């Protein structure tokens, strides 16, 4: 199994933007020094849930601040970007990182982000498909043109081309079964998150993905290679004892759960597109019932090194290829995060390599 860190740059009460950004970058450099395999970044806008506003900018900075870890996007939210501009930026980052870039893509799920970028959320799927097609052409064709519903591009030459050929490895953020099936058809590894609820959903996701790959005629070797890149993000906090870990992480985790609900659910669901309202109401109902006890029992990876080792073994048994460890969430203290990262790297990671 591989191990990555996951950076959101969260801004909980009592923290300043300067502090959050400075400390998170210190932790990113620390992860590279400790031997983590990946540094993952996300993309979010307009909320304290995350200040990770620009995937290309963050990846470029990581290329300059790290030496060995691969740099992953989980993910660039394609509908918010000009496809030509993003293709150029990521090709340049691929060179700056000496070929260490992995590009995860997603179509977004937060209403106010679409409002802020003046993109109707109902168009997210179509825009995502067109932008991904354009980026692949930009990376692999000397000259190309594109005529779509949302983007019309006359013949253009995009340079530089990525260092990795034919392009940086792609990943797809998958939430629903429809996206999982499409991702399997494309032959792209999937990225999942377990932020609340039981981990059983991972087994369901895995089975749907593998079933589709087999129906498409992929060989066992091809499927094994794709599954070796299957990444799953979870909140992780390691302390000397279980009691200490749970005591120290509780407030941060509960702030996070409230922030997640604000992130995913519009302030006024009735103003959302009618076809999106049922999903928003279902999400709101689900997140309103999350409790600390349920999170500890089902979801979070909090505890002593022995306890965390057991959690990781469960993911190995499910076939997860990479654990994307979200170590800095909800305002955990700087020294606690560094101690947690070091305990994980010294007392957990070596057991699975």
Share of the chain above pLDDT 70, in %: 100
Does residue 192 contact residue 202 with C-beta atoms inside 8 Å? yes
Tell me the Ramachandran region of residue 41: left when phi exceeds 0, alpha when psi lies from -120 to 50, beta otherwise.
Answer: beta
**Whole-prediction pTM:** 0.95
Q: Which long-range contacts (CB under 8 A, 24 or more apart) does 86-89 make?
A: 86/56, 86/131, 86/135, 87/134, 87/135, 87/138, 87/139, 87/158, 88/138, 88/158, 88/159, 88/160, 89/56, 89/60
HEC profile of 208-269: HHHHHHHHCCCCHHHHHHHHCCCEEEEEEEECCCHHHHHHHHHHHHHHHHHHHHHHHCCCCH
At 271, is the pLDDT very low, low, confident or very high (cuts 50, 70, 90)? confident
CA dist 138 → 73, 101, 117, 161, 198 (Å): 19, 17, 23, 8, 40
Measure the CA–CA gap between 16 and 22, rounded to whole angstroms.
Answer: 10
For the chain, the residue count is 353
What are the φ/ψ torsions at residue 72 (nearest 5 degrees)? Answer: -120, 145
Summarised one tens digit per residue, pLDDT across range 41-69 is: 999 999 999 999 999 999 999 999 999 99
Summarised one tens digit per residue, pLDDT across range 335-344 is: 999 999 999 9
Torsion angle defined by CA atoms of residues 104, 279, 79 and 205, in that order, rounded to the nearest 10 degrees: 20
Summarised one tens digit per residue, pLDDT across range 112-141 is: 899 999 999 999 999 999 999 999 999 999
Q: What is the CA radius of gyration of the chain?
A: 20
Measure the CA–CA gap between 29 and 33, rounded to whole angstroms.
Answer: 6
Q: How many CB atoms lie within 10 A of CB 37?
A: 19
Locate 121 and state its tokens.
């959320």
Q: What's the pLDDT at 16?
A: 97
Q: What's the pLDDT at 337?
A: 98
Nearest residue to 253 via CA among 197, 192, 328, 315: 328
Measure the CA–CA gap between 234 and 230, rounded to whole angstroms.
Answer: 13
At 273, is the pLDDT very low, low, confident or very high (cuts 50, 70, 90)? confident
Average pLDDT on 282-306 reads 95
């Amino acid at each position: 199994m591989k191990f990555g860190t996951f950076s959101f740059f969260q801004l909980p009460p009592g923290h300043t933007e300067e502090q959050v950004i400075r400390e998170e970058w210190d932790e990113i450099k620390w992860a590279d020094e400790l031997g983590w395999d990946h540094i993952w970044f996300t993309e979010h806008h307009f909320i304290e849930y995350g200040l990770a506003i620009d995937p290309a900018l963050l990846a470029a900075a990581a290329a300059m601040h790290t030496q060995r870890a691969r740099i992953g996007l989980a993910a660039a939210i394609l509908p918010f970007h000009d496809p030509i501009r993003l293709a150029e930026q990521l090709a340049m980052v691929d060179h700056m990182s000496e070929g260490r870039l992995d590009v995860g893509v997603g179509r977004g799920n937060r209403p106010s982000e679409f409002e802020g970028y003046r993109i109707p959320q109902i168009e997210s799927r179509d825009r995502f498909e067109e932008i991904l097609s354009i980026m692949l052409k930009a990376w692999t064709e000397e000259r190309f043109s594109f005529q779509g519903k949302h983007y019309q591009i006359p013949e253009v030459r995009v340079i530089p081309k990525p260092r990795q050929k034919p392009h940086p490895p792609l990943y797809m953020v998958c939430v629903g079964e429809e996206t999982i099936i499409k991702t399997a058809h494309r032959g792209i590894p999937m990225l999942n998150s377990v932020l609340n609820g039981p981990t059983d959903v991972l087994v369901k996701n895995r089975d749907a993905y593998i079933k589709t790959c087999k129906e498409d005629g992929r060989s066992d070797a091809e499927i094994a290679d794709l599954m070796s890149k299957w990444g799953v993000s979870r909140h992780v906090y390691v302390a000397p004892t279980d009691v200490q870990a749970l005591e120290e992480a509780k407030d941060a985790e509960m702030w996070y759960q409230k922030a997640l609900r604000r992130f995913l659910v519009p302030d006024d669901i009735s103003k959302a597109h009618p076809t999106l309202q049922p999903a928003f109401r279902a999400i709101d109902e689900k997140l309103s019932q999350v409790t600390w006890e349920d999170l500890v029992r089902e979801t979070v990876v909090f505890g002593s090194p022995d306890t965390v080792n057991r959690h990781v073994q469960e993911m190995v048994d499910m076939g997860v290829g990479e654990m994307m460890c979200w170590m800095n969430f909800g305002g955990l203290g700087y020294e606690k995060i560094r101690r947690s990262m070091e305990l994980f790297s010294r007392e957990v990671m070596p057991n699975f390599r």
